[in-house]
């Protein structure tokens, strides 16, 4: 064998030895290192779980307090709005004449619900109900309100009606 063939055999043997070493030793070492890094990341996440659980409990308490503060329950906004209006109507001696189905306007993922209702009573009490709906609850904003002075022809008396459109954005 001359030196040229010996050198070619030596280089090819070295390359073959490197490939065999990579297949049997180095690749498993690299795989073990990547799995070790993944396990370290998971361990860090598991150590952070009590802190995250505590934060979630605090958020849940905060949202529950908001629901209680704005008098919202698990029922629909329409039912809650009607309950609030009825409660204020009994407190202020107002009559709920009409409560219509909401008009829903959708644009893409967002939608707007518009609730229409009519109340009857004196001016100060009607304004008080509107103030309560806008300031103390989060049902939406008053779009329009219309006062109409009507006459009861049988009794010969006048009464004031308030028609309201309240819009809620989802």
**For 53-91, how does the pLDDT look when each residue is reduced to its tens digit (9 = 90+)?**
898 899 989 888 877 776 655 557 788 888 889 999 999
pLDDT for 162 beyond 90: yes
Give the pLDDT confidence score for residue 118 in this predicted structure: 95
Give the pLDDT confidence score for residue 73 in this predicted structure: 54
Over residues 43-51, the mean pLDDT reads 84
As a whole number of angstroms, the distance between CA 115 and CA 78 comes to 8
Q: What percent of the chain lies above the pLDDT cut of 70?
A: 95
Q: Which residues contact 165 (CB under 8 A, 6 or more apart)?
A: 114, 115, 116, 142, 143, 144, 145
As a whole number of angstroms, the distance between CA 24 and CA 26 comes to 7
Q: Name the token pair of 54.
A: 């505590």
Q: How confident is the model at residue 43 (pLDDT cuts 50, 70, 90)?
A: confident
Task: Using the structure block, give the residue that is written with the tokens 């290192």.
Answer: 33
As a whole number of angstroms, the distance between CA 32 and CA 26 comes to 10
Q: Which residues contact 81 (CB under 8 A, 6 or more apart)?
A: 115, 133, 137, 139, 166
Q: How confident is the model at residue 97 (pLDDT cuts 50, 70, 90)?
A: very high
Give the pLDDT confidence score for residue 70 in this predicted structure: 65
As a whole number of angstroms, the distance between CA 77 and CA 113 comes to 10
As a whole number of angstroms, the distance between CA 96 and CA 115 comes to 14
**First vs last Cα of the chain: how many Å apart?**
86
As a whole number of angstroms, the distance between CA 29 and CA 35 comes to 10
pLDDT for 165 beyond 70: yes
pLDDT for 142 beyond 60: yes
Give the pLDDT confidence score for residue 49 in this predicted structure: 85
Give the pLDDT confidence score for residue 27 in this predicted structure: 74
Q: How confident is the model at residue 163 (pLDDT cuts 50, 70, 90)?
A: very high
Q: Which residues contact 112 (CB under 8 A, 6 or more apart)?
A: 104, 105, 106, 167, 168, 169, 170
Give the pLDDT confidence score for residue 127 in this predicted structure: 92
């Amino acid at each position: 064998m001359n030196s040229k063939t010996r050198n070619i055999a030596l280089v090819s043997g070295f390359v073959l030895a490197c490939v065999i070493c990579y297949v049997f030793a180095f690749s498993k070492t690299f795989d073990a290192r990547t799995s070790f890094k993944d396990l370290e990341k998971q361990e860090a996440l598991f150590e952070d779980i009590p802190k995250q659980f505590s934060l979630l409990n605090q958020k849940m308490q905060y949202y529950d307090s908001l629901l209680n503060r704005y008098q919202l329950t698990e029922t629909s906004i329409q039912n809650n709005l009607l309950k609030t209006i009825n409660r204020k109507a009994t407190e202020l001696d107002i009559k709920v004449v009409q409560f219509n189905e909401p008009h829903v306007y959708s644009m893409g993922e967002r939608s707007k619900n518009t609730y229409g209702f009519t109340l009857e009573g004196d001016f100060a009490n009607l304004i008080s109900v509107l103030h309560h709906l806008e300031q103390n609850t989060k049902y939406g904003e008053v779009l329009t309100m219309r006062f109409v002075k009507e006459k009861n022809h049988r009794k010969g008396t006048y009464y004031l009606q308030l028609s309201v459109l309240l819009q809620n954005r989802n």
